[in-house]
Amino acid sequence: MLQQDSNDDTEDVSLFDAEEETTNRPRKSKIRHPVASFFHLFFRVSAVVVYLLCEFLSSSFIACMVTIILLLSCDFWAVKNVTGRLMVGLRWWNHIDEDGKSHWVFESRKESSQENKTMSEAESRIFWLGLIACPVLWVIFAFSALFSFRIKWLAVVIMGVVLQGANLYGYIRCKVGSRKNLTSMATSYLGKQFLRQNTGDDQTS
């Protein structure tokens, strides 16, 4: 079911039903997608480690910068397209309609008792911990580079903030987007009822 937000041209939809897994196994803390869980943390943690140890690993700023940007790019693609779908049943993306208008789509699996059984609590914790902690670290690195006048590193750090912050924002919208739409619809409905009531009172007086 599609729900479109007219304010910012975003959509909250149910994640492609064809790929939903519905099994009767109880919900466990067991990691069901170990490879996805590994790469969810590998690229972003590696980027942070290379940034912290780059002066010891190599004397070439260009080599360190390229390595960090490649790790951040791989992390952005993996988290956006693979790990979010497998680990927590969320995905966000953009598409252009026939009129050339851009739409941001935020997907989530339909909530059901069977679907909840297939979700791993351990994977969910790993996903959200990595998703939130690493952007916070890059923000700290940004302030550190700014105040220590390490201007050459500032562009690299900003890249980390932007790429990992984009994934964080996208998945937060996937998680709470439907609630925001319901709140917006309720507010709009109450506003219309209030205006209608005032209009009726003016006509009777």
Tell me the pLDDT tens digit for each residue of 114-156. 545 556 788 999 999 999 999 999 999 999 999 988 888 999 9
Greater pLDDT, 178 or 107: 107
Give Dmax over CA atoms of the chain in angstroms.
Answer: 82
CA 68 – CA 163 distance, rounded (Å): 12
Between CA 16 and CA 20, with CA 19 as vertex, the angle to 5 degrees is: 90
Q: Pick the residue with more confidence: 171 or 188?
A: 171
Burial of 177 (0-12, 13-18, 19+ CB in 10 A): buried
pTM: 0.70
Report the alpha-carbon distance of residue 156 to residue 152 in Å, rounded: 8
The phi, psi pair for 94, rounded to 5°, reads -130, 145
The rounded Cα 5 to chain-centroid distance in angstroms is: 18
Strands 10-14 and 90-96: unpaired
Identify how many contiguous H helices and E strands the chain contains and give both numbers. 6, 4
Which residue shows structure tokens 């690993």? 57
Comparing 131-135, 153-157, 173-177, 201-205, the range with the smallest average pLDDT is: 201-205
